[in-house]
Structure 1
Amino acid sequence: MATANTLAAILNGAKQIETTFLGIGERAGNAPIEEIITILTKKQIESTEFTLPDVYKTSINISKILDFQISENKPIIGENIFKHESGIHQDGTKKNINMYQYLVPSDLGLKNSQVVQFPISNISSKKILHNKFKSIVNTEEIDENISFYKLVNKFSPEVAPEDTVDLLQIIKRRSKDGNFK
């Protein structure tokens, strides 16, 4: 509500607003400055002496100085703001950085290669999964390993493709030896 109320105040003529960096401030209820500056800048509502790169760098520096952990899913400054797990999003973002992102790394003074993430998961595209498994198993084992990875990853999202390859080999070996029931 603080962000919405602050924007409403600006749109209705407020000349001063109260915001916080990382929620640190005198009391609860103040708007996050990174959200306000982003909206004002991207929607071209109001000019401000703050720039998005300045606000981003300041937020990161404050978190380091105070040893304050920023939530990875925090809008604007969180680590995951440029993370794409879905195969469609990964493909689209590779083709056009603006496709699924309101904010792009350059808005924050960052390079795409520094922050855009395409993690492998059970919702990654067939092409991405195929390329990943091509580097760790024989060609004839790729499809079987992808299917097994997707199954395991649904229940254990942190599991790496390499781990499921090893696990599948153990299961196959034990079932062949009769030690798997």
Structure 2
Amino acid sequence: MILLLIAGHVSAGLDIDPYLPPVEPDLTDEERERRQEAVQRQIEEARRRAEEQARQEAEARRQREAELAARPYPVRLTEARCLGCHRMDDLLERPRTRLGWELVALRMQRFNGAHLEPGDRAVIAAHLARTYPAPIYRRVVEPLILIAILLVPLVVWWQWHKRRRPESR
């Protein structure tokens, strides 16, 4: 540190002249005033363009919001509750029946923590079943699977209960 103080001013050999604005010959007061006015006009024009662009963007945003608000409630609800986590393609890949969509929404609500108000699940399921209807085979198979899911525990319980109970002769 002491050596730096003793050494004094040290230059790196950089020339700042290329970075300075060009030197202009002496201008008259009138020319200087015209240049200042021209610069001021450019600044004002840039400000007007920026204001116009901001106004157009705000108008486009209001128009988009109005279009979104004019759409049916089930569409807005589905987008608000489902499309935050899922893409629209996810809904199109596996169309389901209303029962299937109800079970999917129930699963999302119970296991994944989806925020659904009372009644939202039914509205969303009805909208998705109507908008993306399931193929005919799925309309037949889904209720059968549900019946099997409900009946299997009952049959197992009945068989267990029957074996446990001593046969009376």
TM range (shorter): under 0.3
Normalized per residue, the structure richer in helix is 2
TM-score by length of 1: 0.25
Structure of higher CA gyration radius: 2
TM-score by length of 2: 0.26
Determine which structure has greater relative contact order: mean sequence separation of CA pairs < 8 Å that are 6+ residues apart, divided by chain length: 2
